[in-house]
Amino acid sequence: MRTRWWLTGLASSLLVFATAARAAERSEQREPQLRKPIPQSRLEIEQEKELLRLFADTLAQIKSNYVDTDISERDLVEAAIRGMLAKLDPYTNYIPPEALDRFQRDIKHQFGGIGIQVTMRDGKLVIISPMFGTPAHRAGLHPGDIVVKIGNTSTKGITLDAAIQLMKGPVGSTIDLTVLRPTTDETKHVTLPREVIHIPSVLGYRIKPNDQWDYLCDAKSKIGYVRLTAFSERSASELAGVLKKLLADGMQGLILDLRFNPGGLLSEAIQIADLFLRKGEITSTQSRNTPRHTWNAQAAGTLLPAGLPIAVLVNRYSASASEIVSACLQDHQIATIIGERTWGKGSVQNIVKLERGKSALKLTTGSYRRPSGKNIHRRPGASDKDDWGVKPNKDMTLRLSAPEMRALNTHFHQLDIIGAVAKDKKTAAQPKSDFTDIQLQKAIEVLRARIKSKTEKKNKKANIEP
């Protein structure tokens, strides 16, 4: 009888806790405001109670009869929470009390890192992209590489959040990584220093003899070229400065290269899209319990004239903010998308306080949508036929083979290292490579044709006017 009373009490407490947690989650959401929860039917309430009793019964049996008495109730409950979250996406994580302070410091301040964007795919820790100029970039790590071990810890079964925390640490300390390159089956062991990560994000086509970036990839046709490596602080203002100079120099077309760009700050993505778009929707969020939130372009922020031929290069490692910008420009028919289908990361995470702020839940609560309303995020189990990511325009798909992708990455790596050396005022040079970037060549070809057509129409109009 006493056991049954205890179980019933625990189940009731869990039900109250679940209801309180939902209320707490609502209170944490300031922008946008959450809607009131949909009322549950009596049947749904009873079903929820039964499931909570199942959990309480299991916990009671372990507490009373399990052979090992050293396992605490908290360890069991936290293991149960992590088990639940394992059924969700890799970006949803439980943050226990001992890790909460560190998590809050990381999101508010600079930290020591190695400069890679990673995700979980098919249970493997995959590098989306090494960031330009960082220890991971200098060590030659590639997009698509699989991190097998962090120090002596295997990444098999690890959560994304736990892996990221292992790679962070005091500035000046080092971390050993064991990395598998699937394209060659080569295993690589690297020791990387942790540094404060500063990411130069607006790069050009090549380094000029005066040690400055050349932002023209076709001087005769006056086609500008900007490679955006990430959406970090000041990316929008730096890009705006480059575009103003290109326009002043008579730019007739522009290539925005977002290949290998893993994303970054949403605020920068909004500002960068606004440079191209005079009016209309940039992106929106679609959530389960919140009203749709929309970001719209403002004419005051627009730099580029209407009708300027623009191409955007993307590949399978373009993610997050890269997808928001490229989807926006495609849906508004401002730019032609060339290359490969993008990664498909467009989820929204919120931090929900638990235990009156002692622990927290980083919970995926929504996804970003294109201006057309289509989904960006690739959910687990999504097929190639589903809506996710950004596809190139018709007849503009150029998917690189694994060797071609390695060659492109090597080309960029050589160019970036040369760029970094040039910034140190040493002798500038160009990559020694016979690599041909077929995606970039396609973009130049498309823009040349559109510039020629635009010029012919302008001349024809001038000839028929009295």
How many angstroms separate the CA atoms of 232 and 197, rounded? 11
The pLDDT of residue 107: 56
DSSP secondary structure string for all residues of 296-340: E--GGG--SPTT--EEEEE-TT--THHHHHHHHHHHTTSSEEEE-
Residue 320 Ramachandran class (φ > 0 left, ψ -120 to 50 alpha, else beta) = left
Residues 6+ apart with CB under 8 A from 8: 53
How many angstroms separate the CA atoms of 208 and 23, rounded? 59
By the 8 A CB rule, do 375 and 346 touch? Answer: yes
What is the token pair recorded at 225? 């070229």
Q: What is the mean pLDDT of residues 438-455?
A: 96
| Residue 462 identity | A
Q: Is residue 250's pLDDT more than 60?
A: yes
CATH class belonging to 103-196: mainly beta
Q: Is residue 423's pLDDT more than 80?
A: no
Q: Which residues are identified as catalytic? A: 320, 331, 345
By the 8 A CB rule, do 321 and 265 touch? Answer: yes
DSSP 30: -
Q: What is the pTM of this model?
A: 0.73
By the 8 A CB rule, do 258 and 314 touch? Answer: yes
Whether the CA torsion 187, 193, 194, 195 is positive or negative: it is negative
The pLDDT of residue 270: 96
C-beta atoms surrounding 298 within 10 Å: 13
By the 8 A CB rule, do 446 and 338 touch? Answer: yes
| pLDDT band at residue 100 under the 50/70/90 scheme | confident
pLDDT tens string 18-62: 433 343 333 333 334 445 556 678 888 899 999 999 999 999 999
The pLDDT of residue 109: 47
Residues 6+ apart with CB under 8 A from 134: 113, 114, 115, 116, 195, 197, 199
SS3 of 29, please?
coil
How many angstroms separate the CA atoms of 32 and 373, rounded? 18
Residues 6+ apart with CB under 8 A from 198: 133
The pLDDT of residue 91: 87
Indicate if 202-455 has the same CATH topology as 103-196: no
Q: What CA–CA distances, in Å, run from 104 to 95, 107, 109, 196, 447?
A: 10, 5, 9, 17, 46
What is the token pair recorded at 215? 């932002």
Comparing CA positions, the residue from 99, 103, 127, 97 lying closest to residue 115 is 127
> Could you tell me the residue ranges of all domains in the chain?
1-30+42-65, 103-196, 202-455
Whether the CA torsion 24, 28, 30, 33 is positive or negative: it is negative
Residue 228 pairs with which residues in a beta bridge?
A: 202
The pLDDT of residue 431: 54
How many angstroms separate the CA atoms of 295 and 277, rounded? 12
pLDDT tens string 155-194: 998 988 889 889 988 889 999 999 999 988 999 999 999 9
Question: How much of the chain, in percent, has pLDDT values that exceed 90?
Answer: 58
Burial 262-277 (b: 16+ CB within 10 A, else e): bbbbbebbbbbbbbbb
What is the token pair recorded at 42? 């009596």
The pLDDT of residue 5: 42
The pLDDT of residue 350: 85
DSSP 397: B
pLDDT tens string 352-407: 999 999 999 999 998 999 999 999 999 888 999 999 999 999 999 999 998 899 88
Highest averaged pLDDT of the listed ranges 93-102, 201-210, 266-275, 415-424: 266-275
Q: What is the mean pLDDT of residues 273-281?
A: 97
Comparing CA positions, the residue from 209, 207, 208, 261 lying closest to residue 235 is 261
How many angstroms separate the CA atoms of 345 and 343, rounded? 6
pLDDT tens string 299-348: 998 999 999 999 999 999 999 999 999 999 999 999 999 999 999 999 98
By the 8 A CB rule, do 327 and 373 touch? Answer: no
Residue 366 pairs with which residues in a beta bridge?
A: 287, 348
Of the two residues 3 and 101, the one the predictor is more confident about is 101
Residues 6+ apart with CB under 8 A from 90: 119, 120, 159, 160
Q: Is residue 424's pLDDT more than 50?
A: no
How many angstroms separate the CA atoms of 374 and 389, rounded? 9
SS3 of 18, please?
helix
By the 8 A CB rule, do 332 and 293 touch? Answer: no
Of the two residues 212 and 97, the one the predictor is more confident about is 97
What is the token pair recorded at 54? 């199942």
Q: What CA–CA distances, in Å, run from 430 to 151, 205, 419, 420?
A: 36, 11, 9, 12
How many angstroms separate the CA atoms of 105 and 153, rounded? 24
Domain 202-455: CATH architecture, name and number where available = Alpha-Beta Complex (3.90)
Q: Are strands 206-207 and 216-218 parallel, antiparallel or unpaired?
A: unpaired
- Please work out, in degrees rounded to the nearest 5, the angle formed at the alpha carbon of residue 137 by the alpha carbons of 134 and 139: 110
Comparing CA positions, the residue from 128, 454, 138 lying closest to residue 318 is 128
- E strand spans, 391-465: none
